[in-house]
Amino acid sequence: MANKWRKVKMALGNGLCLHLPQVAGDSTTSSTQSLSPLPPNSNCRQSTPTHSFSTPRVSKSGSRSSKRTCAICLTTMKAGNGQAIFTAECSHSFHFQCITSNVKHGNQICPVCRAKWKEIPFQNTSSDCARPRTNPAGLAPDDPWMTIVRRMPPPRSNTTRQITSIFHGPEPVAYDDDEALDQQPHATERNTTNDGASVHSCTDKVEVEMYPEISAVPRSVSHDHFSVLVHVKAPLSIATVNNSRNQASLPPLNQPSRAPVDLVTVLDVSGSMAGTKLALLKRAMGFVIQNLGPSDRLSVVSFSSTARRLFPLCRMTDAGRLQALQAVNSLRSNGGTNIAEGLRKGAKVLVDRKVKNPVGSIILLSDGQDTYTFNGPSSARPQIDYQSLLPVSIHRSNRSGMQQIPVHAFGFGADHDAVTMHTISDTSGGTFSFIETEITIQDAFAQCIGGLLSVVVQDLQVEVRCIHPSLQLGLIRAGSYQASISERARLGSIFFGDLYAEEERDFLVTLNIPVDEFGGEMPLLKVKCVYNDPITKEPITLANESEVQILRPDTVGEQVVSLEVDRQRNRFHASEAISKARVAAERGDLAGAVSVLDNCYRTVFESASAQAGDQLCAALCAELKEMQERMATRHIYESSGRAYVLSGLSSHSWQRATARGDSVDMGSAVQSYQTQSMVDMVSRSQTMILGPPPSQRTLRPTHSFPVRAPQPSPPQ
């Protein structure tokens, strides 16, 4: 594989850097992630970012030998084979082309030890660029690597000038310079079967099921706080089916069976992101860019001491991808961390756009504390009201008819501000993920975009109405989703917003069951769903023909609680316990926090659904145990426990998958809410890049929960 990699570089004449997908089972030490031209005025030297998509072989401790590995491109240094090695005065060595590009961008300190150099490397700029040829390296025409070579657009002489003007020119006052959408009729947004029949973007409609807590209540007895579970499931998308059939193949350039996306990534490039962090961030962004289709649009905002929009919303056509990759590869780290300014500009991109794709979202990543919004040490500064930084148009409480734009926040490493990132995501209706180890950043992004690229339901609102005239609603437990009760407590509404393909939402409705002098069957609730199709924009109303009811006999024997209701009670109980434990931990009572989690663990473990082998309950038990370990000491809690807890709360409150340490992998028993689209995208991420050995990095099964989750150990 290494020989093939060198052949491809020869084929491109070193004018472009080519990163190609590694197929499953390949043991090569070179991987390819994306096509990326060199930054402007590169003089055909490989720049620092062009190597950044290569995955470092990092041990669990994160240590690696600077003698054998270039700290800039993260690949092995080996004298000969046309590779020049530069050894600095501090004794650290780098590829000569890597370090000269690094110095060219103004970096005159060692990337490893941060020592300031007195003597810096210099490369003559008079060399001419070699023109890329079709296939001078002699690759076979049917070689899968040649597929990517052929996909490259022909070089244009004005490419450098065009990209420079777009990415480095003055920013406009209003961000209304977004690229026009792909003007195609709605029919092209559908798949066509072999017989020519048009197929909608999803295979069915939203499914609704209801489960009463128990099936019968004596007619002479009243029952307060009687629970009914309402289960809602989004349909399967055609794109999910097609992609799951061939996960290891190259990502499709066009996915007409799904709703296109407007995505803005707001990326921290402060000084703390230097080295491996920035390299892996660039590689992860390369994966995102390569998996967006030509109808999707992307804009990138970077922030350190200030924020800068690298380019406006652009369609991810072949040319758009190349330009986006070049912009991302030009990023370098320096300065402080101004999260607030980055967030403002990211939101402005979506607020000011002239036209809109059906789905819009922001991905925010940071590895540090906001050093510009606050003054003074973190322990003494007040908590900022980040809700005020989000425009009304993307605030989740906005019901003005404008499109909701969630911010999916990613806290990177041990030093990020987990509370701030969680607040931002929760305020906007997004999720908060904790990227504990650098190597998992791409998988975390993959899981997120796997969901964003599979939206099949928008603006979902579920209504529950009492049927029996003497019934009243008591409480609706729907996590962070907006719920209201009206019409004299006989009508309840829950607003869920967008649903990814196959996503599920569960909420509990409590009723006050009165005495019934007549007995027989008592109808309780009926459900109605109203939502929009993201492609056709047509409103869809589903009135559930079935209704949930219970029996009211004279006497009732021993009642068995519904396992479906019991498992959701456990989820709510665990979420409440996690929230209480966090409050205790924040005030310094770690022992009390652990006690709260342990008591909840015992309750969940001894519940009927857990004893029946329910997989969600097993996952909850594993998560509660993990959180106890991350609250063992103040140091552990500060470095990883707080972020892990907040990411768990985000996941449970929104019933949506988040990344937590290794939770994207099969080895984790705490991952919940993953959809098939997310699993497929993570699978693509892990098979298209060079990763650690299989024993360290394996795929989790394609189910919402593990096929057979590890059985929790009995309480001690």
SS (H, E, C) 657-704: CCCECCCCECCCCCCCCCCHHHHHHHHHHHHHCCCCCCCCCCECCCCC
Using a 10 angstrom Cβ sphere, with 0-12 exposed, 13-18 middle and 19 or more buried, the burial of residue 314 is buried
Q: What is the pLDDT of residue 137?
A: 35
Instruction: Give the other-Cβ count within 10 Å of 109's Cβ.
Output: 16
Task: DSSP letter for 438, please.
Answer: G
- Where residue 371 falls among pLDDT bands split at 50, 70, 90? confident
pLDDT given for residue 80 in this prediction: 66
pLDDT digits (tens, 9 = 90+) for 352-370: 999 999 999 999 999 988 8
Output 599-605 pairs: Cβ under 8 A, ≥24 positions apart.
600/573, 600/574, 600/624, 601/625, 601/628, 601/712, 601/715, 602/715, 603/570, 603/573, 604/570, 604/573, 604/574, 605/712, 605/714, 605/715
Residue 444 pLDDT exceeds 60: yes
Q: Is the pTM of this model over 0.75?
A: no
Distances in Å between the Cα of 500 and the Cα atoms of 245, 396, 538, 541, 657 are 19, 17, 17, 18, 11
Percent pLDDT > 70 in the chain is 66
In the numeric block, the tokens 């780098």 are attached to: 94
Question: Which range among 234-238, 466-470, 560-564 shows the weakest confidence by mean pLDDT?
Answer: 234-238
For residue 475, the cross-strand partners are 510
Q: Confirm if 364 and 333 have CB atoms less than 8 A apart.
A: no
Could you write out the DSSP letters of every residue in 38-51? PPTT-TTPPPGGGG
Look at residue 148 in the predicted model and tell me its pLDDT: 35
Which burial class, exposed, middle or buried, applies to 595 when counting CB atoms under 10 A from its CB (0-12, 13-18, 19+)?
middle
The pLDDT, as a whole number, for residue 104 is 59
Q: Please provide residue 224's backbone torsions phi and psi, each rounded to the nearest 5 degrees.
A: -85, 155
pLDDT confidence band for 86 (50 / 70 / 90): confident
Is the pLDDT confidence value at 296 over 80? yes
Query: Confidence band (pLDDT; 50, 70, 90) for 687?
Result: confident
Q: How confident is the model at residue 321 (pLDDT cuts 50, 70, 90)?
A: very high
516 pLDDT more than 60: yes
- Contact residues for 694 (Cβ-Cβ < 8 A; gap 6+): none
The residues with which 212 forms a beta bridge, in sequence order, are: 228
Place 570 in a pLDDT band, splitting at 50, 70 and 90: very high
| pLDDT recorded at residue 171 | 79
Q: How would you class 187 by CB atoms within 10 Å of its CB: exposed for 0-12, middle for 13-18, buried for 19 or more?
A: exposed
β-pairing verdict for 491-500 and 455-466? antiparallel
| Average pLDDT value for residue range 47-73 | 45
> What is the length of the chain?
716
pLDDT given for residue 106 in this prediction = 57
CA distances from 635 to 100, 371, 377, 590, 648 (A): 40, 22, 18, 11, 19
- What is the pLDDT, as a whole number, of residue 378? 46
Query: Which residues make beta-bridge pairs with 504?
Result: 233
In the chain, % of residues over pLDDT 90: 54
Are 234 and 457 contacting, i.e. CB atoms less than 8 angstroms apart? yes
Cα–Cα dist 439/708, whole Å = 26
Distance CA 226, CA 104 (A): 69
Q: Ranked by mean pLDDT, which of 254-268, 388-402, 511-525 comes out on top?
A: 511-525
Q: Alpha helices of 225-373 — where are they, by DSSP H?
A: 238-244, 276-290, 318-329, 339-352
Indicate the average pLDDT of the chain: 77
pLDDT exceeds 60 at position 446: yes
pLDDT value of residue 232: 96
Max mean pLDDT range (253-262, 553-562, 646-655) = 646-655
pLDDT at residue 403 in the model: 61
User: At residue 181, what are phi and psi to the nearest 5 degrees?
Assistant: -75, 165
CATH class of the region 259-453: alpha beta
Is a pLDDT exceeding 60 seen at residue 697?
no
Nearest to 33 by CA among 695, 685, 563: 685
Q: What's the pLDDT at 604?
A: 97
DSSP3 helix / strand / coil % (the chain, rounded to 5): 30, 20, 50
**Edge-to-edge strands, sheet with 261-268:** 307-315, 297-303, 261-268, 359-366, 407-412, 432-435
* Interstrand relation of 407-412 and 359-366 (parallel, antiparallel or unpaired): parallel
pLDDT given at position 101: 63
pLDDT at 74: 65
- pLDDT score of 632 more than 60: yes
Residue 134 has pLDDT above 50, yes or no: no
Instruction: Give the per-residue pLDDT at 388.
Output: 65
- The C-alpha atoms of residue 356 and residue 264 are separated, in whole angstroms, by 13
Quick one: average pLDDT of 173-190? 70
Closest CA to 619 of 563, 671, 564, 570: 671
Domain ranges, ordered by start, for the chain: 207-236+457-560, 259-453, 563-661+692-716
CATH code, 207-236+457-560: 2.60.40.3670
Q: Which H/E stretch holds residue 362?
A: strand 359-366
Contacts of 382 (CB under 8 A, 6+ apart): 374
- Beta-bridge partner residues of 198: 192
For residues 239 and 243, what is the distance between their CA atoms, to the nearest angstrom? Answer: 6
* Angstrom distances, CA of residue 389 to CA of 340, 427, 525, 600: 7, 10, 40, 36
Q: What is the pLDDT of residue 102?
A: 66
Which tokens sit at 576? 């409440």
Asked if pLDDT for residue 52 goes beyond 50, the answer is no
Please state, in angstroms and rounded to a whole number, the distance separating the CA atoms of residues 424 and 431: 9
Residue-level pLDDT at 665: 56
pLDDT per position as a tens digit, 205-259? 899 999 999 999 999 999 999 999 999 999 987 655 555 444 444 444 444 579 9
Short-list 195, 276, 222, 658, CA closest to 470: 222
